[in-house]
């Protein structure tokens, strides 16, 4: 077998997470009663595979928790069916535990084609919305993996509780500096056009590391539009 185009099947982190979530690893068979469990090698041996799956879930929960906030990436029917199969496997293991013959593994039922998930549709919208900006495939993947823009929007939602107190402090200081601040505000009205809001500076800094030669390819106004596309595609 020869790989013609190694980049033709590059998957994002959320697509990998969706696949391993809807296709959980099978449990290894129980060892026969006359074999030491420590020396027993199951067939097929999926222990390394199960370790990889576990590490992927650990990575998502510890380092990329924003992926868990993305739109639904699995079908609810799939998850219910997997829970039913898991319950059947546990019941089978308990019933066969006394006889010592619990070496079989109940196979998962054949998956039905339930069509694209909500995340699949959102990804199509994201790619289509970012096309006018001339981003490469790798840049779009990095934006999706890092949650650029989406991460900032989530942080804003969590910070709304403390916004009222901060606004009160600002209001108290407005009366003292109102006269001095009026002249500065009038002089900066023209300069502020096309600039990003202060809350988007973090996303801008992240995009500078993701998009090659960002300042030459995208203006600040373009960056604002990119962030708007991301939040519309991946937001609630």
- Domain boundaries defined on the chain: 13-63+76-97, 115-159+194-236
Q: What is the mean pLDDT of residues 52-68?
A: 92
Percent over 90 (pLDDT), the chain: 27
* Global pTM value: 0.64
Indicate the burial class of 135 (C-beta count within 10 angstroms; 0-12, 13-18, 19 or more): buried
For residue 57, report the phi and psi dihedrals to the nearest 5 degrees. Answer: -65, -40
pLDDT given for residue 144 in this prediction: 93
Residues in the chain: 236
Alpha helices in 4-149 (DSSP H): 13-22, 47-63, 76-97, 118-130, 137-146
Pick from 27-36, 106-115, 227-236: least confident:
106-115
**Whole-number average pLDDT of the chain:** 74
Statement: residue 97 has pLDDT above 70 = no
Give 86's pLDDT tier (boundaries 50, 70, 90): low
Diameter of the chain measured on Cα atoms: 89
Kindly report the number of other CB atoms within 10 A of residue 112's CB atom: 10
Dihedral, CA of residue 196, residue 202, residue 204 and residue 205, to nearest 10:
140
pLDDT digits (tens, 9 = 90+) for 138-188: 999 999 999 988 865 555 555 444 444 444 444 444 444 443 444 444 444
pLDDT given for residue 40 in this prediction: 83
pLDDT digits (tens, 9 = 90+) for 199-232: 788 888 999 999 999 999 999 899 999 999 999 9
Give 88's pLDDT tier (boundaries 50, 70, 90): low
114-127 burial: b if 16+ Cβ within 10 Å, else e = eeebebeebbeebe
Rounded distance, CA 125 to CA 168, Å?
Answer: 39
């Amino acid at each position: 077998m020869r790989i013609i185009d190694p980049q033709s099947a590059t998957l994002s982190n959320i697509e990998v997470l969706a696949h391993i979530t809807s296709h959980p690893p099978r449990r290894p068979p129980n060892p026969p009663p006359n074999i030491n469990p420590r020396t027993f090698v199951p067939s097929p041996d999926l222990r390394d595979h199960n370790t990889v799956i576990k590490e992927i879930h650990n990575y998502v929960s510890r380092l990329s928790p924003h992926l868990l906030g993305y739109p639904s990436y699995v079908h609810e029917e799939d998850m219910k069916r997997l829970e039913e199969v898991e319950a059947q496997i546990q019941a089978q293991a308990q019933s066969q535990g006394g006889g010592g013959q619990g070496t079989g593994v109940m196979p998962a039922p054949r998956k039905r084609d339930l069509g694209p998930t909500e995340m699949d549709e959102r990804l199509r919208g994201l790619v289509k919305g970012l096309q006018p900006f001339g981003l490469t495939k790798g840049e779009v993947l990095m934006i999706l993996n890092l949650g650029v823009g989406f991460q900032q929007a989530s942080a804003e939602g969590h910070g709304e509780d403390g916004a009222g107190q901060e606004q009160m402090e600002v209001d108290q200081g407005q009366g003292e500096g109102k006269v001095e601040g009026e002249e500065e505000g009038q002089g900066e009205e023209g300069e502020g056009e096309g600039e990003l809001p202060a809350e988007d500076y973090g996303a801008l800094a992240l995009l500078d590391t993701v998009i090659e030669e960002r300042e030459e390819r995208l203006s600040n106004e373009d960056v604002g539009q990119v962030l708007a596309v991301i939040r519309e595609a991946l937001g609630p």
